C-alpha cells in the first residue's frame, strides 16, 4: 500500500476527529474537510446546528481552537496549520452582517460624526470589522474595553 500524502493524512485525521465529536454531541451533521498548504477548512452542515455555533459564535470559536490544538499536536509538523470551521454557513452570513453594520456606521461618519462605537463582539468578529474598516480611506478602527464586552471604535483619521 502506498504511503498517504501529507494532505490526505491531515484530511483523514480532521474528518475522523470531527465525526467523533459530532457523534458524541448527538447532532445530525456531516463535515467536509479541505486541506491546503495554509489552512485546514472544515465545513459542517446538518440539522439543529445551534449547539455548535453557540451564543455570539462562542462555541464555534472554541471548537475551532480545540480542533486546531488537537490536530496540530497529532500531526506534530514543523509548522502550525490553522483550522477554520464554518457551521451551516454561519461565518459567511456573519461576515455579510458585519459588512452591512460597518457600511452603515461609515455612512454616519461621512455625515460628520468623528467616531462611532459598535456593539460588543468576540475577537474573531472584531478582526473581520478591522479588515473591513481598513478598506475605507480616512478611517481607522481600534478595539477597546474588557472581555466579554470588548468593542470596536471606528474613527475618522485625525478626529476623536
Q: Are residues 96 and 136 in the same domain?
A: yes
For the cut 70, the answer to whether the pLDDT of residue 158 exceeds it is no
Q: What is the CATH number of the domain that holds 144?
A: 3.30.1370.50
Q: Are residues 48 and 111 in the same domain?
A: no
- How many domains are there within the chain? 2
Task: Give the pLDDT score at 80.
Answer: 84
For the cut 60, the answer to whether the pLDDT of residue 159 exceeds it is no
Does residue 25 belong to any structural domain of this protein?
Answer: yes
CA distances from 119 to 1, 95, 99, 101, 126 (A): 55, 15, 14, 10, 10
Report, as an integer, the average pLDDT of 78-96. Answer: 91
Q: Are residues 16 and 73 in the same domain?
A: yes
Q: Give the pTM.
A: 0.77
Does residue 1 belong to any structural domain of this protein?
Answer: no
Domain that includes residue 67, residue range: 6-88
Q: Are residues 21 and 72 in the same domain?
A: yes
pLDDT in tens, 89-123: 999 999 999 999 999 999 988 777 789 999 999 88
Does residue 70 belong to any structural domain of this protein?
Answer: yes
Please give the mean pLDDT across all residues of the chain.
90
CB atoms under 10 Å from CB of 75, counted, come to 16
d(CA 28, CA 17): 15
Residue 141 near residue 155, CB atoms below 8 Å: yes
All three cell numbers of 148, joined, read: 466579554
Sign of the CA dihedral 147, 152, 157, 159?
A: negative
For the cut 80, the answer to whether the pLDDT of residue 5 exceeds it is no
For the cut 60, the answer to whether the pLDDT of residue 53 exceeds it is yes
Question: Among the three residues 88, 105, 134, which one is the final residue of a domain in this structure?
Answer: 88
If pLDDT is split at 50, 70 and 90, which confidence band does 75 have?
A: confident
Report, as an integer, the average pLDDT of 72-100. Answer: 90
Does residue 72 belong to any structural domain of this protein?
Answer: yes
Task: Give the pLDDT score at 4.
Answer: 60
Amino acid at each position: 500500500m502506498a504511503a498517504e500524502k501529507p494532505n490526505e493524512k491531515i484530511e483523514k485525521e480532521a474528518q475522523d476527529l470531527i465525526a467523533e465529536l459530532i457523534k458524541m454531541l448527538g447532532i445530525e451533521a456531516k463535515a467536509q474537510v479541505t486541506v491546503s498548504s495554509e489552512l485546514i477548512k472544515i465545513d459542517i452542515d446538518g440539522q439543529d446546528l445551534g449547539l455548535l455555533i453557540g451564543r455570539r459564535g462562542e462555541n464555534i470559536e472554541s471548537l475551532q481552537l480545540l480542533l486546531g490544538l488537537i490536530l496540530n499536536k497529532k500531526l506534530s509538523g514543523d509548522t502550525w496549520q490553522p483550522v477554520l470551521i464554518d457551521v451551516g454557513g454561519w461565518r459567511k452570513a456573519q461576515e455579510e452582517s458585519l459588512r452591512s453594520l460597518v457600511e452603515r456606521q461609515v455612512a454616519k461618519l461621512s455625515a460628520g460624526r468623528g467616531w462611532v462605537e459598535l456593539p460588543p463582539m468576540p475577537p474573531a468578529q472584531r478582526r473581520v470589522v478591522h479588515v473591513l474598516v481598513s478598506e475605507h480611506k480616512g478611517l481607522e478602527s481600534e478595539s477597546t474595553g474588557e472581555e466579554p464586552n470588548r468593542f470596536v471604535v471606528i474613527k475618522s483619521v485625525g478626529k476623536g
